[in-house]
Amino acid sequence: MSPAEARLKEVSSGMTDAEWNQRVNLAACYRLVAHYGWDDLVDTHISARVPGPDHHFLINPYGLMFEEITASSLVKVDLHGNQLSESEYSINPAGFTIHSAIHEVRARTPVACFTCIRRTALPSRAAWKACCR
């Protein structure tokens, strides 16, 4: 195992393996969106439900560009907008409002991930499907 792989497997204190894995995957998704130019500065969002019985989800910290987002910088929130993870960043209220509503109605979905990305940024629907598998 390389040093980079070992760091990815390190779980921050007070966090389940499932949450850490979700954070790593979501951060990778943000970086892929940035890599392909599908981001729109800091006003687009991708969120993912934290696996487990609680209705918590991860969303990007407001003010970071997509290529700057890491597993550790993602902000964990509940459906009421309470930040559940320590962060020097806040979240975008508009992004929270949209994503919390979707996560609330999809609460029974074991793992749910939602994105709001400019349609004009996507070269094709097929390319987006290929990226999100």
CATH of the domain at 120: 3.40.225.10
Q: How far is CA 74 from the centre of its chain?
A: 7
User: Contacts for 94-98 with beta carbons within 8 Å, 24 or more apart?
Assistant: 94/43, 95/43, 95/45, 95/47, 95/59, 95/60, 95/62, 96/59, 98/45
- pLDDT mean over 46-67: 86
Question: What pLDDT digit, counting tens, does each position of 58-74 carry?
Answer: 888 888 998 999 999 99
Comparing 111 with 108, which gets the higher pLDDT?
108
Computed over every residue of the chain, the mean pLDDT equals: 75
The domain of 113 spans 3-131
pLDDT, residue 87, reads 82
Residue carrying the six token digits 């989800």: 57
Counting the structural domains of the chain, the total is 1
The β-bridge partners of 77 are 57, 83
Res 128 pLDDT > 90: no
pTM above 0.85, yes or no: no
- pLDDT mean over 28-52: 83
Q: How many CB atoms lie within 10 A of CB 104?
A: 11
pLDDT, residue 24, reads 93
